[in-house]
A and B are shown apart, each in its own frame.
Chain A
Amino acid sequence: MSTHTTQSAHDEAQTTDILRLEDVTKQFGNVTAVDNLSFSVSEREILGFIGPNGAGKSTTFDCVSGTMAPTDGEIYYRGENVTGVPQHALVEKGIARTYQTFRPLNDRTVLENIALSQMPNSLFSFADFRADTEQRAREICEQVGLGDVVDQTPDELPHAGMLRLEIGRALGTDPDLLLVDEPFAGLTSDEIDRTADLFTSLREGGMTLVVIDHNMHGLLDLVDRVIVISFGEKIAEGTPAEIRDDPTVQEAYLGGEI
Chain B
Amino acid sequence: MTQVDLEPRYVVGIVCFIGLISAPFLLPILTLRQLTAALFLGMFAMSWDYVSGYTGQLSFGHSMFFGIGGYTAAVLNLELGLTPVLAILVGTIAAGIAGLAVGFPALRLEGPYLALITLIAPLVLVQIVNIFPGTLGGDAGLPSPAGLVSVDEPIGILSTIGFETVFVHETIVYYYLALALFLAIYALFYVFTRSYVGSIFTAIHEDEDAVRSVGINAAKFKVFAFTMSGTVGGLAGAAFVHTAGEPNPGEILSIVVSIEVVLVSILGGMGTITGPAAAGIVYYFVRDALQTSSLTIPVLDATVGHISMALFFAIALLVLFFLPKGALPWVTEWSRDILERRSQRSESPS
User: Quick check: A103 and B210 within 8 Å, CB to CB?
Assistant: yes
CB nearest neighbor in A for B221: A123
Is A106 close to B, CB under 8 A?
yes
Contact size class for A?
20 to 34
Is B212 close to A, CB under 8 A?
yes
| Given A123-B197, A123-B224; A88-B216 close (CB under 8 Å) | yes
Cα A89 to Cα B195 with chains together (Å):
23
Nearest Cβ on chain B to A77's Cβ, whole angstroms = 14
User: Quick check: B215 and A173 within 8 Å, CB to CB?
Assistant: yes
How many residues on chain B are close to A (CB under 8 Å)?
A: 23
Is A87 close to B, CB under 8 A?
yes
Is A38 close to B, CB under 8 A?
no
Is A144 close to B, CB under 8 A?
no
Is A257 close to B, CB under 8 A?
no
User: Quick check: A105 and B203 within 8 Å, CB to CB?
Assistant: yes
User: Quick check: B214 and A117 within 8 Å, CB to CB?
Assistant: yes
CB nearest neighbor in A for B211: A116
User: Quick check: B197 and A99 within 8 Å, CB to CB?
Assistant: no
Q: Point out the residue from A106, A116, A123 that lies within 8 Å of B220, measured CB to CB.
A: A123
Cα A71 to Cα B213 with chains together (Å):
21
Is A128 close to B, CB under 8 A?
yes
Q: Mark A240-253, 1 if CB is under 8 A from B, else 0.
A: 00000000000000
User: Quick check: A121 and B196 within 8 Å, CB to CB?
Assistant: no
109-138 of chain A: CB within 8 A of chain B: 112, 115-117, 119-121, 123, 125, 127-128
| Given A128-B195, A128-B196; A107-B213 close (CB under 8 Å) | no
Cα A77 to Cα B209 with chains together (Å):
22
Q: Point out the residue from A86, A108, A173 that lies within 8 Å of B214, measured CB to CB.
A: A173
Is A92 close to B, CB under 8 A?
yes
Cα A106 to Cα B210 with chains together (Å):
11
Task: Tally inter-chain residue pairs, CB-CB below 8 A.
Answer: 81
User: Quick check: A88 and B200 within 8 Å, CB to CB?
Assistant: no
Is A18 close to B, CB under 8 A?
no
Is A214 close to B, CB under 8 A?
no
CB nearest neighbor in B for A127: B196
Cα A128 to Cα B199 with chains together (Å):
11
215-245 of chain B: CB within 8 A of chain A: 215-218, 220-221, 224
User: Quick check: B209 and A103 within 8 Å, CB to CB?
Assistant: yes
List the A side residues contacting B217 at CB < 8 Å: 86, 88-89, 121
Is B206 close to A, CB under 8 A?
yes
List the A side residues contacting B200 at CB < 8 Å: 116, 119
Cα A170 to Cα B212 with chains together (Å):
11
| Interchain Cβ contacts under 8 Å between A and B, 22 examples | A67-B212, A86-B212, A87-B213, A88-B215, A88-B217, A89-B217, A92-B215, A96-B214, A98-B213, A103-B207, A105-B203, A105-B207, A107-B202, A108-B202, A108-B203, A117-B215, A119-B196, A119-B200, A121-B216, A127-B196, A169-B213, A170-B214
Residues of B within 8 A of A (CB): 195-197, 199-200, 202-203, 205-207, 209-218, 220-221, 224
Instruction: In the A-B complex, list the 6 residue pairs whose CB atoms are closest, starting with the nearest.
Output: A91-B215, A103-B210, A117-B214, A105-B206, A88-B217, A87-B212
